[in-house]
Each structure stands twice: as structure tokens, then as C-alpha cells.
Amino acid sequence: MKIVAAYPESLTDKEFHYCPGCTHGIIHRLVAEVIDELGVRKDTIGVAPVGCAVLAYDYFNCDMHEASHGRAPAVATGIKRVHQDKVVFTYQGDGDLASIGTAEIVHAANRGELISTVFVNNAIYGMTGGQMAPTTLDKQKTTTSPYGRDKGLAGNPIKISEMLAVLDGPAYIARVSVHDPKHIRQAKKAIQKAFQVQLEGKGFATVEVLSSCPTNWGMSPVQALKWLAENMLDVYPLGVFKEVD
């Protein structure tokens, strides 16, 4: 009998602490399925961020390391350079990667470190109560932009994938979304590719995953997925921004 769906070995049986409808859980599952399918679980080291995914080390059933806020690419760099035979990935939110950790991701990408990054962009600081992030959309209301983000004051939503794609170090940069099943399947393929280019020694890889935060967006889970599709895709177009053969 062919098994078509099973609980991933690369996830522990610990219950997620994420809010109902939060897409962090879906993205965790995709990463775990990819690790399983590549058969690298025992050779994988993940680096967890600060943010809602701070407890990712409890959920991924591989070796995990916690980094301080934004520093995951620097920590992953050290791990990979010492353990060149391991598959090293970071899992980071937009507050972590695109705000306090912008320098770390840009320089790791520019150096072409052989690491893979899963970048979860939910356009807000989730863990700390819904403050504006660099990725927050223009006019989007957050707890620190109650009248809506004013790009004249706070700047424009930052497009990390486009930024990283112009550097020489990355081998694969893509943006995907998890707002419906079709896009979830595409997201998994991109995450798989990001791990594959590392296994093939091609260079740095990042997959930006557009994600929802129903709690801090003040929406139901279903409304949040609709809002993502209707508002985030225009600002953050999906696609492959760089792929080296």
C-alpha cells in the first residue's frame, strides 16, 4: 500500500503553541516534510529565531540551535563552516530577519554561505503584540501605527527577496505564499529547492513565505488568508527572483 500522507518524522509530537489559524504551523510542516523527503533529518541543524517561532527547537525533530534576535544567519554561518557535512537552515520572521537582523541576512547572502533560510513574512511583529515591522504594508494598521502606516514617516515595505536577488552570493531566492492549498504546494517545492541547492553546494538560498497573523491583524483565520491574498501579493509578488544553474 502506498502511503500518501503521514505525520512527518522531522516534527516532534509536541503541540504547537501558535494561535488558531496561524500559518507558522503550515510552514513548519512543509519544512519537516522536505527534510523527511530529502532523507537528511539526522544531518540537519536548524537555527530558531526570536519571535513567535522562538520555540521551533521544540517542534523540529532534528538538531536545533537558538539564536538571539536577528542573528540566526550569523549563527548558521558558524555552524555550517564547522560542520560542512550538515544541512543548516534558519527559520526567521520578518521582525527578526528584516528589521534587527537585516545586516546578518544581507551579509550571509552576499558571502554565499551554504545555508538555507525560511523567511516568514507576516507583515507584523507577532510575538510582541502586533507592532509595525519594516514589512508592514503602507496604510496597514498595527499597534504602533493605529492610523495606518505612513510611508512618508516609516518608509516603504521592505522587499527582502528583491534585495537579496541582486547580490552575487545567493543561488536561489524565491517568494511563495501559504494562503491556499495550491500555493502551499508551490511553497513546499520552493523550500525543497532551497535545501537542494545547499546539498548541491551551489550557494545561499532564501524562501520568503507570505504568512498570516490573524491575532494581530484582528481577523478570523479565514479573513486573514483572504486579506493576505488581496493585499500582500500586490506588494510582495510571488516568484523566483534568482536561480543559479
Ligand X SMILES: Cc1ncc(C[n+]2csc(CCOP(=O)(O)OP(=O)(O)O)c2C)c(N)n1
Residues that bind ligand SF4 (CB under 6 A): 18-19, 22, 24, 52, 122, 126-127, 213-216
170 binds, among ligand X, ligand SF4, none (CB under 5 to 8 A by kind): none
Q: What's the closest the beta carbon of residue 92 comes to ligand SF4, in angstroms?
A: 13
Binding mask 68-97 for ligand X (x = CB under 6 A): -x-----------------------xxxx-
Does position 164 bind ligand X by CB under 6 A?
no
Pairwise CA distance, residues 175 & 228, whole Å: 14
Restricted to residues 23-62, the positions that interact with ligand X (CB under 6 A) are 50-53
- The CA distances from residue 199 to 71, 117, 172, 209, 213, in Å, are 23, 14, 12, 21, 32
Which of 91, 125, 204, 241 is close enough to bind ligand X by CB under 6 A? 125
Query: Could you tell me the three cell numbers for 67?
Result: 539564536
Cell 523550500 -> residue: 191
18 binds, among ligand X, ligand SF4, none (CB under 5 to 8 A by kind): ligand SF4
Q: By CB under 6 A, which span of 3-11, 126-134, 139-147, 225-233 interacts with ligand X?
A: 126-134
Query: Could you tell me the three cell numbers for 225?
Result: 488568508
Pairwise CA distance, residues 224 & 213, whole Å: 7
Query: Could you tell me the three cell numbers for 185?
Result: 504546494
CB neighbourhood size of 193 (10 A): 19
Closest residue by Cα to residue 71 from 92, 56, 52: 92
Q: What's the closest the beta carbon of residue 143 comes to ligand X, in angstroms?
A: 12
